[in-house]
């Protein structure tokens, strides 16, 4: 595979960004042109990605020095390159990013129609794709970090896209800052790795980490620290506990953005990073931590999703929850399964977000599902595609989510039964809240406000076609690639990437015990039961307007986590900075000392000035006194 | 000869403006601009003629000056000063253009001050004679004093007197240090022979402190920073740009030129203290910046934070750290300079710097908002822009090679988070939201302002994407500094050698692979 | 006592009495006249010391030119009584002045008495011959030529200074 | 010839008289005369020591002192005149614009 291909793949969205960003002024009013340029740019990348995929399937992997483009930061004892690493894992990510990305661009052409910031929107979106590609293409941690921060920036820009809305800009800022907290960990993780390996290149680090020499010199502790710090980065980026708080708020952005960034691609960067660093996590045995954080987040977020009434927020918490699953997968050593779930999730969650966007489009931006109901008739395509997505996530047999989730749960059992149990409960909750959403929104009596009701309609083709296209892989990709569990086509394709990690980890994780079939059956039953409960409870009835019990209230308010963070971190820091540091320490003490010195000198001067009487004879007297004393000293003493 | 031309050409401009009195404002501006541009163009000759393969002083000149004092006119640049010289010659025309319409009184005096300031600053970066250095160091105070004191804001007198006296207090100490060195240097002020004697000076600790305090005030390192917000707030836009862009760098430049290579042992002794102050400065500056209601003050405190990073980098006494520190000097000059330019531009329109007066500016001034965003991001240290490269190298250097606890690095790295907090919060309050009537009517940037900002942005992106031309030219010079510092401290800091192990380990792996 | 000694005491006493009179008389005219007496007495002392040129200069420059200047100014100003005599000196200031004067004189005399101890004067052989005007002229125009010329500049500066100081200010045009 | 000491003592006494005059009198003109007295006392010492050492230099310096004294008197009196023109007084304790 040639480096040039990857360069084209990478640069294409950047070019799109530059055209829309720099010359947007001239494109203004011409939606077709700017939308077309943005979409085309991603299409080019998608085609390149397919070529790259074919190449990797043929065994052509781009790594090591061959992938180096140029020396970025270099000096005595350190060299960091801009370079590419393209293997099976990368191409999977590339296909997801550019494929789903392309569809979402197409969808956006319709969705953003008439928006004042149309050009700006496509510029940002292209920039995001570029940054995400940098993230997955990099052949070293530093370049991954570049993309890592880049997607964070685009996320910030796109969440706050409608910048006149205070809540949107607040959410954008929150996302960026919380992500920065994660990035802080990532940064320190990189430093730890560099201190140990003298390089940040994947091939160099993984090669050296495996070698016995390294183990002898550094033991495991360096790696434990490094992998945990990197994981902090992943927790921030992939919205895991305790840094998940930004993702639900991020729904302030345009819905296609939520689909692309906050469901399909950016938030999965953490999973990609851990899959990429599989060797390190295996050597450090820190996968357990990852898995536990993942499963607890999955459960926690699912409980919150149960009580929300805002469609996008339910989907957001569901994303947090599903990301937790992925972390369980990569945490328990089932890297391929984690990545597989990443891919299926990108399809079905992207699909559901876009469908939710379609609903919003029809409902004049209404998001509260209590004000919907019975939309099935008016929006059949949206309904069916949404349903497919929901079935997939709920683990309905033979749809994509069923396969990927089941693989993860199966592997989790081998690692720790408790993880499996919690994961299974979460699967039940997932099915329940998803179908609560479906039933309340699309079935039952219409509760749509009369003013809106007449306008409710199916979205234009430019929007529903991407839905249909996404529905297809959501439904069947599991069957195609996931059949056969750990022996499936997907596992086969990514085998080479995780081979080294598997070899190291064989001792750590017991090979998934027994046949997968019982697990599949249990999962399927749990999912179906969840759907059934939802049907019983919500297919006919309207959800309660107000939370009933105290527990319900606690959960509905998201456990007051935002309020706690605000009270514990945000406000104290603000107040301490303002009152203590600025007013007291800076102005009062430090500047007070500086000005105090000046004042003291002025007082001394003021006192001494009285000696200056202006009477010449007083001066002469003092002069003569001085002369007398001086002479006396000179003559009689010295 | 080239270097002397670069240094004194602006002074020639001063003379020209002084002699041609009463020629009208546009002619004065034209002359100033022409001289500044010419200086920049000539200084590019320094870049092209620079030999990156050596750490020796280049473009050296040496003439007898005041022989009775043992001082000579010795100048020369190495890879460290090269960039600061270029930064100075680059920012001056930018500043002149930025001040094109904003000076209402005493235009020729303003331009003369600016050009005289340029000569002073260039001299500081080029002098290789302690006395000459000191003369330039002090002479640059005078035009700055006028810039703030005449063309400043309401409390300009307070600010300018504070600035000058504070700096002078430090310089007085440095003068004592210089004289004491003079007597230990065979009654000569020449710098290069001093390098040979590095580490052998009596009372090196005191000498180090004498120099360091002078530089720390200039940097300004916490807790010597309180003159900075006052000076920035009161200074005219251009004054702020030069102040942040170049003047503060004179402190950090002094550290890397004098403190580290001349007194390596003392530097090692005081590293824990200085690094502590630097880290406090990073966090403290960020926290205080966060709550400032005044845009200029916010940027001023952010400078305290950023320069904390630079000092931290320099005192890693390690390649990546020092190189990052030097690069970050340039970066800070560019991004903070650009921030001040932007604040000045919006101040000219709105006549306010208070954050509460703004909001929704992105609506009325989209181009301005975009450029402001890029500059903000550069200041935050977003990868792909210049700030990241410097910060990353500094933190990497301190983590990897710094002879101090990793806790410092962890604390310093929180500055990365805090920077995002204060900058983005400010950005949100100024740019986002719905504009009120006044803000909605603000006109966007005009062509002149775009021309002012564009070159700065170009370098912001360039250094972020391809810093190699910058790094490769300073590498050798930095290596020499590092060698000097580490040589003296090697016995005490045994573990700096342990850091080499990983690379040996990798070599071993390769060998094993070969034998297999 | 030889005549030289007698003459020294006569001139010396005259000079001292004149000096004390200068500071004692109320009216500046009397002070000025007393000062002339002192100057003449000093000129006599210079003659005793064999410095004939200096003695002549003393009479011409001091007693002649300078004192005339003083008298001119006193008359020009034609001060009123209070201004002419000055405000009566406070007893305190007078006391301080006299005490300081005594201390000062004591130190001066001490220096004078010990002038020969360990100084160049001690070892020098007194030269009996008087210094000739020729000798002074030779020194002035050889070794001290530059200071001599500079002196002329001082006089020029004084000249210009005086003109500037006492010049009547022209009424400004507008 | 008389001993050097006699002349020096006389010089010291004359000088002291001048100092006392400057200290106690307030009339600027008289103060000026006292300054002349002091200069003369110094001249006397110059000439005496010059004689004692057998050198001519001392007298050369007297010549310089006289020139300076002449210049000084001219300037000083001019100042007094101009002060009087402005203030109608030459009492030094009434001229205190330099009071701090």
Which one of A217, A582, A594 has the shortest CB-CB distance to B291? A582
How far is the alpha carbon of C171 from chain D, nearest alpha carbon, in Å? 16
Q: The tokens 């939520």 sit on which residue?
A: A258
Average pLDDT over residues A48-52: 88
Please indicate whether residue B498 or residue C18 has the higher confidence score (pLDDT).
Answer: C18
Report ipTM for this prediction: 0.77
What confidence tier does B457 reach under pLDDT thresholds 50, 70, 90?
Answer: very high
Q: Which two tokens stand for residue A472?
A: 């297809």
Confidence of residue C40 (pLDDT cuts 50, 70, 90): very high
> Is the separation of the CB atoms in A247 and A320 below 8 Å?
yes
The two structure tokens encoding residue B180: 């004491």
Q: Which partners does chain A have (≥3 C-beta pairs < 8 Å)?
A: B, C, D
Q: Could you tell me the CATH number of the domain that includes residue D48? A: 1.10.287.3510
Q: What is the pLDDT of residues A490-543, one digit of tens each?
A: 777 887 888 777 777 665 555 555 667 778 888 888 888 888 888 887 777 666
Question: Strand B71-77 relative to strand B58-66: parallel, antiparallel, unpaired?
Answer: antiparallel
Measured between beta carbons, the chain D residues lying within 8 angstroms of C119 are none
Q: D96 and A613 in contact by Cβ < 8 A?
A: yes
Give residues 74 to 133 of B whose Cβ lies within 8 Å of A.
none
Q: To the nearest whole angstrom, how far is the Cα of A609 from the nearest Cα of chain D? A: 5
Q: What is the rounded average pLDDT for all residues in chain A?
A: 83
Is the Cβ pair D23, A613 closer than 8 Å?
A: no
Q: Could A617 and D26 be called an inter-chain contact, meaning their C-beta atoms sit closer than 8 Å?
A: yes
- Angle value at C-alpha C70, between C67 and C72, nearest 5 degrees: 110
- pLDDT attached to residue C173: 56
Q: What is the pLDDT of residue B498?
A: 38
Q: What percent of chain B has pLDDT over 70?
A: 94
Least confident of A137-141, B422-426, D85-89: D85-89
Per-residue confidence (pLDDT) for residue C171, from 0 to 100? 63
Chain D residues with CB-CB distance to C111 below 8 A:
8, 12
pLDDT per residue over B354-365, tens digit each?
Answer: 888 888 888 888
Is A628 in Cβ contact with C107 (below 8 Å)? yes
Please say if the pLDDT value at position B125 is more than 90: yes
Report pTM: 0.83
Please determine, for residue B309, whether its predicted confidence score (pLDDT) is greater than 50: yes
Number of domains, chain D:
1
Burial class from Cβ neighbours inside 10 Å (0-12, 13-18, 19+) for residue C94 reads middle
**Residue C127 at interface with chain D, using a CB cutoff of 8 Å:** yes
List the domain boundaries for chain B. 263-516
Band of residue B497 on the pLDDT scale cut at 50, 70, 90: very low
Distance from CA of C77 to the nearest CA of D (A): 7
Report pLDDT for B514.
44
User: What confidence tens digit (pLDDT) does each residue in A425-451 have?
Assistant: 888 888 888 888 888 888 777 777 777
Asked if residues A628 and C100 have their Cβ atoms less than 8 Å apart, the reply is yes
**pLDDT mean across residues, chain B:** 86
Residue A351 is inside which H or E element, if any? helix A335-362
What confidence tier does A213 reach under pLDDT thresholds 50, 70, 90?
low
Rounded-to-integer distance, Cα B417 and Cα B381, Å: 10
Task: Indicate whether B151 pLDDT > 70.
Answer: yes
Minimal CA separation from A624 to chain D, in Å: 8
Q: At CB < 8 Å, which residues of chain A contact D?
A: 609-617, 620-621, 624
Quickly state the pLDDT bin for A214 (edges 50, 70, 90).
low
Residues of chain A with C-beta less than 8 angstroms from the C-beta of B479: 76
- Which residues of D fall within a CB distance of 8 Å from A615? 92-93, 96, 99
Nearest to A147 by CA among B382, B463, B391: B382
- State both tokens at B30: 């034209």
Among A617, A626, A627, the residue to mutate for chain D (most D Cβ within 10 A): A617
Its CATH architecture, for the domain C1-78, is Up-down Bundle (1.20)
Which domain, by its residues, includes D40? 26-87
Asked whether residue B515 carries a pLDDT value surpassing 50, the answer given is no
pLDDT at A548 over 80: no
CA distance B3 to C33: 71
Pair of tokens at residue A631: 């002479």
pLDDT by residue (tens digit) across A329-341? 888 888 888 888 8
Residue A220 has pLDDT above 80, yes or no: no
Report yes or no on D13 lying in a domain.
no
Per-residue pLDDT at C95: 85
Which among B365, B386, B368, B390 is positioned nearest to B377, based on CA atoms?
B386
Please indicate whether chains A and B are in contact, defined as at least 3 beta carbon pairs under 8 Å: yes
Higher pLDDT, C164 or B495: C164
Kindly list the residues from chain D whose CB atom is less than 8 angstroms away from the CB atom of residue A611: 100
Residues B190-203 have a mean pLDDT of: 85
- Residue D3 near chain C (CB below 8 Å): no
Q: Average pLDDT, stretch A55-63?
A: 79
Lowest mean pLDDT among A50-54, A298-302, B177-181, C92-96: C92-96
* C-alpha to C-alpha distance for D43 and D57, rounded to whole angstroms: 12
Chain D CB contacts of C104 below 8 Å: 15-16, 19
Q: Is the CB of A191 less than 8 angstroms away from the CB of B395? A: yes
Distance from CA of C174 to the nearest CA of D (A): 22
Distance from CA of A594 to the nearest CA of D (A): 26
Which pLDDT band, with edges at 50, 70 and 90, does B510 fall under?
A: very low
Give residue A513's pLDDT: 53
Chains B+C touching (3+ CB pairs under 8 Å): no
* Pairwise pLDDT comparison (A450 vs C143), residue with the higher score: C143
Alpha-carbon radius of gyration of chain C: 21
B509 and A195: CB-CB below 8 Å?
no
- The residue-averaged pLDDT of B453-466 equals 91
Predicted local distance difference test score (pLDDT) of residue A27 = 67
**Distance, CA of B312 to CA of B318 (rounded, Å):** 11
Closest chain C residue to A618 measured between Cα atoms? C93
Q: In this complex, is the C-beta atom of C98 within 8 Å of any C-beta atom belonging to chain D?
A: yes
CA distances from A283 to A201, A336, C119 (A): 17, 18, 94
pLDDT score of B458: 93
Nearest to C107 among A621, A625, A632 (CB): A632
Confidence at A465, pLDDT banded by 50, 70, 90: confident
Nearest to A624 among C93, C104, C110 (CB): C104
Chain C contacts in chain D segment 7-26 (CB below 8 A) = 7-21, 23-26
Q: What is the mean pLDDT of residues C17-34?
A: 90
Structure tokens at B188: 């000569």
Cα A166-B233-B464 angle, rounded to 5 deg: 65
Closest residue by Cα to residue B41 from B5, B14, B77 = B5
Res. B492 pLDDT band, cuts 50 70 90: very low
Any idea where the domains of chain C sit in the sequence?
1-78, 88-174
The yes-or-no verdict on residue B499 having pLDDT over 80 is no
Please name the residue of chain C whose CA is at the shortest distance from the CA of residue A623: C100
Cβ contact A614–D99 (<8 Å) = yes
Taking residue A311's Cβ as centre, other Cβ atoms within 10 Å add up to 27
The verdict on A600 touching B (C-beta cutoff 8 Å) is no
- Give per-residue pLDDT as tens, B226-283: 899 989 999 998 999 999 989 999 999 999 999 888 888 888 889 889 999 999 999 9
Q: Decide which of A169 and A458 is more confident.
A: A169
Q: Are B300 and B228 in contact (CB under 8 A)?
A: yes
* pLDDT bracket for residue C125 (50, 70, 90): low
CA dihedral D59, D64, D65, D68 (to 10 degrees): 170
């Amino acid at each position: 595979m040639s480096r040039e291909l990857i360069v084209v793949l990478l640069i294409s969205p950047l070019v799109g960004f530059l055209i829309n960003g720099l010359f947007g002024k001239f494109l203004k009013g011409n939606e077709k042109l700017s939308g077309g340029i943005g979409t085309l740019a991603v299409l080019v990348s998608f085609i390149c990605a397919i070529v790259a995929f074919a190449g990797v399937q043929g065994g052509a992997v781009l790594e090591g020095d061959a992938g180096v483009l140029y020396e970025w930061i270099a000096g005595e004892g350190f060299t960091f390159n801009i370079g590419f690493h393209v293997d099976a894992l990368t191409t999977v990510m590339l296909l997801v990013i550019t494929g789903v990305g392309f569809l979402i661009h197409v969808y956006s052409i319709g969705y953003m129609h008439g928006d004042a910031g149309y050009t700006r929107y496509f510029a940002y979106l292209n920039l995001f794709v570029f940054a995400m590609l940098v993230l997955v293409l990099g052949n070293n941690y530093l370049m991954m970090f570049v993309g890592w921060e880049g997607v964070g920036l685009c996320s910030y820009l796109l969440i706050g896209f409608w910048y006149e809305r205070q809540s949107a800009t607040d959410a954008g800022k929150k996302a960026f800052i919380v992500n920065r907290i994660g990035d802080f960990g990532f940064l320190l993780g990189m430093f730890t790795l560099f201190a140990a390996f003298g390089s940040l290149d994947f091939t160099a680090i993984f090669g050296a980490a495996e070698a016995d020499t390294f183990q002898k010199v550094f033991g495991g502790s360096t790696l434990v620290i490094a992998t945990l710090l990197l994981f902090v980065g992943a927790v921030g980026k992939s919205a895991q506990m305790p840094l998940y708080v930004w993702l639900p708020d991020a729904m302030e952005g345009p819905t296609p953005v939520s689909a692309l960034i906050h469901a399909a691609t950016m938030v999965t960067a953490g999973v990609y990073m851990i899959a990429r660093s599989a060797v390190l996590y295996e050597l450090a045995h820190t996968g357990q931590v990852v898995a536990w954080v993942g499963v607890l987040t999955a459960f926690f977020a699912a409980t919150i999703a149960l009580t929300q009434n805002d469609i996008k927020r339910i989907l957001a918490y569901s994303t947090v929850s599903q990301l937790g699953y992925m972390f369980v997968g990569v945490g328990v050593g089932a890297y391929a399964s984690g990545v597989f779930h990443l891919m299926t999730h990108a399809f079905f969650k992207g699909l559901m977000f876009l469908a939710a966007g379609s609903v919003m489009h029809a409902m004049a931006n209404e998001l509260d599902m209590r004000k919907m109901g019975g939309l099935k008739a008016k929006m059949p395509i949206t309904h069916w595609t949404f349903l497919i997505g929901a079935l997939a996530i709920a683990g309905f047999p033979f749809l994509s989510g069923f396969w990927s989730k089941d693989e993860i749960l199966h592997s989790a059992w081998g690692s720790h039964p408790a993880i499996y149990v919690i994961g299974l409960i979460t699967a039940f909750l997932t099915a329940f809240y998803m179908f609560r959403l479906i039933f309340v929104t699309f079935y039952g009596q219409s509760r749509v406000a009369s003013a809106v009701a007449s306008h409710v309609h199916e979205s234009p083709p430019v929007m529903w076609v991407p839905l249909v296209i996404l529905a297809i892989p959501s439904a069947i990709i599991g069957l195609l690639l996931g059949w056969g569990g750990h022996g499936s086509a997907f596992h086969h394709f990514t085998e080479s990437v995780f081979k080294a990690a598997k070899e190291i980890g064989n001792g750590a994780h017991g090979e998934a015990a027994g046949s997968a079939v019982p697990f599949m059956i249990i999962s399927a039953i749990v999912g179906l039961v969840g759907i059934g409960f939802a049907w019983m409870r919500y297919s006919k009835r309207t959800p309660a307007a107000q939370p009933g019990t105290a527990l319900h209230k606690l959960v509905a308010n998201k456990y007051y986590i935002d309020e706690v963070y605000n009270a514990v971190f945000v406000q104290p820091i603000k107040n301490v900075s303002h009152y203590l540091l600025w007013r007291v320490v800076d102005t009062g003490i430090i500047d007070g000392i500086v000005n105090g010195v000046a004042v003291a000198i002025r007082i001394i001067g003021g006192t001494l000035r009285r000696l200056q009487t202006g009477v010449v004879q007083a001066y002469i007297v003092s002069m003569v006194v001085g002369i007398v004393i001086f002479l006396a000293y000179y003559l009689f003493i010295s | 000869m080239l270097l002397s031309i670069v240094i004194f050409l602006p002074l020639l401009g001063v003379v020209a403006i002084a002699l041609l009195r009463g020629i009208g404002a546009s002619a004065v501006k034209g002359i100033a601009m022409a001289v500044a541009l010419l200086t920049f163009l000539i200084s590019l000759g320094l870049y092209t003629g620079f030999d990156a393969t050596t750490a020796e002083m280049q473009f050296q000149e040496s003439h007898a000056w005041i022989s009775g004092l043992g001082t000579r006119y010795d100048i020369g640049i190495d890879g460290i000063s090269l960039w600061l010289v270029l930064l100075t010659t680059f920012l001056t025309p930018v500043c002149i253009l930025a001040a094109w319409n904003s000076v209402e009184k005493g235009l020729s005096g303003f331009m003369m001050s600016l050009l005289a300031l340029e000569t002073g600053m260039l001299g500081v970066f080029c002098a290789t004679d302690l006395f000459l250095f000191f003369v330039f160091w002090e002479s640059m105070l005078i035009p700055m004093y006028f810039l703030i004191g005449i063309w400043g804001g309401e409390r300009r007198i307070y600010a300018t007197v504070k600035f000058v006296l504070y700096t002078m207090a430090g310089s007085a100490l440095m003068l004592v240090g210089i004289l004491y060195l003079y007597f230990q240097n065979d009654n000569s002020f020449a710098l290069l022979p001093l390098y040979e004697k590095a580490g052998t000076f009596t009372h090196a600790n005191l000498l180090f402190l004498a120099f360091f305090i002078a530089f720390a005030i200039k940097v300004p390192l916490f807790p010597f920073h309180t003159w900075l917000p006052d000076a920035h707030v009161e200074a005219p836009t251009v004054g702020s740009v030069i102040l942040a862009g170049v003047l503060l760098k004179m402190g950090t430049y002094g550290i890397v030129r004098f403190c580290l290579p001349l007194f390596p042992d003392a530097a090692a002794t005081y590293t824990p203290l200085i690094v502590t102050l630097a880290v406090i400065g990073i966090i403290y500056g960020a926290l205080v910046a966060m709550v400032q209601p005044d845009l200029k003050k916010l940027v001023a405190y952010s400078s305290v934070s950023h320069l904390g990073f630079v000092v931290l980098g320099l005192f890693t006494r390690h390649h990546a750290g020092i190189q990052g520190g030097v690069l970050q000097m340039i970066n800070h000059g560019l991004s903070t300079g650009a921030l001040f330019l932007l604040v000045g531009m919006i101040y000219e329109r709105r006549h306010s710097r208070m954050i509460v007066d703004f909001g929704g500016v992105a609506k009325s001034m989209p181009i301005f908002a975009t450029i402001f965003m890029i500059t903000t991001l550069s200041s935050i240290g977003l990868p792909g822009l210049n700030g990241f490269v410097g910060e990353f190298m500094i933190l990497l250097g301190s983590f990897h090679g710094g002879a101090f606890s990793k806790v410092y690095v962890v604390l310093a790295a929180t500055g990365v988070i805090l920077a995002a907090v204060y900058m983005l919060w400010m950005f949100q309050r100024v740019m986002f939201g719905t504009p009120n009537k006044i803000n909605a009517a603000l006109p966007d940037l005009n062509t002149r302002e775009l021309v002012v900002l564009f070159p700065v942005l170009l370098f912001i992106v360039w250094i972020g994407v391809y810093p190699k031309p910058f790094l490769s030219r300073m590498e050798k010079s930095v290596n020499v500094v590092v060698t000097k510092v580490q040589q003296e401290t090697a016995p005490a800091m045994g573990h700096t050698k342990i850091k080499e192990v990983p690379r040996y380990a990798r070599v071993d792996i390769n060998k094993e692979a070969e034998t297999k | 006592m030889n005549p030289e000694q007698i003459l020294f005491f006569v001139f010396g006493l005259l000079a001292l009495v004149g000096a004390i009179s200068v500071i004692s008389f109320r009216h500046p005219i009397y002070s000025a006249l007393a000062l002339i007496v002192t100057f003449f007495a000093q000129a006599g002392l210079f003659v005793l010391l064999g410095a004939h040129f200096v003695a002549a200069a003393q009479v011409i420059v001091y007693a002649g030119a300078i004192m005339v200047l003083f008298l001119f100014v006193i008359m020009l100003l034609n001060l009123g009584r209070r201004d002419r005599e000055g405000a009566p000196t406070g007893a305190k200031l007078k006391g301080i002045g006299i005490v300081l004067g005594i201390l000062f004189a004591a130190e001066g005399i001490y220096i004078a008495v010990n002038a020969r101890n360990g100084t160049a004067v001690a070892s020098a052989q007194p030269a009996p011959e008087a210094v000739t005007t020729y000798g002074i002229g030779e020194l002035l125009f050889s070794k001290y030529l530059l200071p001599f010329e500079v002196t002329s500049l001082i006089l020029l500066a004084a000249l210009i200074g005086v003109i500037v100081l006492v010049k009547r200010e022209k009424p400004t045009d507008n | 010839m008389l001993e050097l000491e006699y002349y020096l003592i006389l010089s010291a006494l004359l000088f002291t008289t001048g100092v006392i005059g400057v200290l106690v009198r307030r009339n600027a003109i008289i103060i000026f005369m006292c300054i002349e007295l002091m200069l003369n006392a110094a001249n006397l010492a110059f000439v005496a020591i010059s004689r004692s050492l057998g050198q001519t230099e001392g007298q050369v310096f007297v010549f310089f002192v006289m020139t300076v004294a002449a210049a000084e008197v001219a300037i000083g009196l001019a100042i007094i005149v101009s002060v009087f023109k402005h203030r109608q007084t030459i009492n030094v304790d009434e001229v205190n614009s330099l009071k701090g």
